[in-house]
Structure 1
Amino acid sequence: MNLTIIELDDSYIQQVTDLILNIQQNEFNISISIEDQPDLLAIEDFYFAKGGNFFGAFVRDQLVGTIALIKFDENSGAIRKMFVKKEFRGKELNIAQNLFNVLIDQCRRNNIENVLLGTVSVLKAAQRFYERNGFGKIEKVKLPDRFPIMGADDVFYSLKLK
């Protein structure tokens, strides 16, 4: 398998929305639409313009995974849109870990010390992944005021990089 991870800009919007909505709606039955996620229709404005990023993992020119970071404070960022296509998940291919490592390296290069994220309680494997990577659960009321909460999120994590 030849895995390539690159920055995604607005030219990838269709591929990104197809991948993410399919996983959310069809695989996990999460009641969320593209209208609930306007960031997916304006990747450059929503992520890059604020100092964040959006990465995609490709296998044989097929988008199989994504991860993004919203910089919401001078030294803080929120992980968003971490998804890997079902048939490409697992430790054998390690796509999620590779995406995560690229994003964390980007955070370190840009002096982002606090990384937070929200997820949905039904995504148990994702929660185990975050915990294996050093994240600790945090109560919603303890999130920074500027943390961008998604409506469906009900479990939150925090990681200190320094």
Structure 2
Amino acid sequence: MKLLIKPIENQYSNAIVDLILNIQQKEFNVPITIEDQPDLFNIQNFYYAGGGGFWGAFINDELVGTIALIKFADHAAAIRKMFVKKEFRGKEFSVAQNLLNTLISYCLENEIDNLYLGTISKLEAALRFYEKNDFVRIEKEELPKEFPLMKPDNTFCHLTLKN
């Protein structure tokens, strides 16, 4: 089983929506619908056009994880849509770690020095993962004013990429 991470666009919208909504709604009961996430059908304009990106993790041609980046200032961006299918979580596959490494490499190559993210406090494993990767929790008030807030998010993190 070989893990492949590559940039993906709208041709994968249905697979992306299927993966993300299942995790959000069925696994974690997050009160969010597809209507709340129109970006998933307009990946090119929403993520790539502003200097961000959207990556998919594939095992045997199956989409098993996603991560996206919204660049919202010259040297700052937000992580979005970080989801890994339940069966592919953990160290055995390292899908999340490989997705995050891909996104951070992109940031370093593109002079993005500050990474932010918003999540939901009950996603404790995700928060532990980010903290293990040197993200620091911050208060909502500490976010840059341009940060693209998502309604359900109540926990925020920051990572400085520049030494």
Q: Distance in 1 between matches of 2:16 and 2:153?
A: 20
Provide Cα deviations, 1:72-125, integer angstroms capped at 9, x if missing partner: 000000000000000000011100000000000000000000000000111000
Instruction: Show the counterpart of 1:65.
Output: 65
Instruction: Show the counterpart of 1:124.
Output: 124
Instruction: Show the counterpart of 1:13.
Output: 13
Gaps (5+ residues) in structure 2? none
Provide Cα deviations, 1:110-145, integer angstroms capped at 9, x if missing partner: 000000000011100000000000000010011000
Q: Distance in 2 between matches of 1:121 and 1:36?
A: 19
**Corresponding residue SS for 2:49:** helix
Deviation at residue 27 of structure 1 after TM alignment: 0.5
Q: Distance in 2 between matches of 1:123 and 1:67?
A: 16
Instruction: Show the counterpart of 1:75.
Output: 75
Provide Cα deviations, 1:53-84, integer angstroms capped at 9, x if missing partner: 00000000000000000000000000000000
Instruction: Show the counterpart of 2:31.
Output: 31
Q: Say yes or no: does 1:109 pair with 2:109.
A: yes
Instruction: Show the counterpart of 2:158.
Output: 158
Q: Distance in 2 between matches of 1:86 and 1:154?
A: 23
Q: Distance in 2 between matches of 1:44 and 1:22?
A: 23
Deviation at residue 32 of structure 1 after TM alignment: 0.4
Q: Distance in 2 between matches of 1:34 and 1:47?
A: 17
TM-score by length of 2: 0.98
**Corresponding residue SS for 1:47:** helix
Instruction: Show the counterpart of 1:94.
Output: 94
Deviation at residue 12 of structure 1 after TM alignment: 0.7
Count of equivalent residues? 162
Deviation at residue 41 of structure 1 after TM alignment: 1.3
Q: Distance in 2 between matches of 1:100 and 1:130?
A: 9
- Aligned-residue sequence identity (percent) comes to 59
Map residues 51-62 of structure 1 onto 2, 5 A cutoff.
Answer: 51-62=51-62
Deviation at residue 156 of structure 1 after TM alignment: 0.1
* Root mean square deviation of aligned Cα: 0.5
Q: Distance in 2 between matches of 1:130 and 1:2?
A: 24
Q: Distance in 2 between matches of 1:154 and 1:138?
A: 11
| Runs of 4+ residues over 3 Å off in structure 1 | none
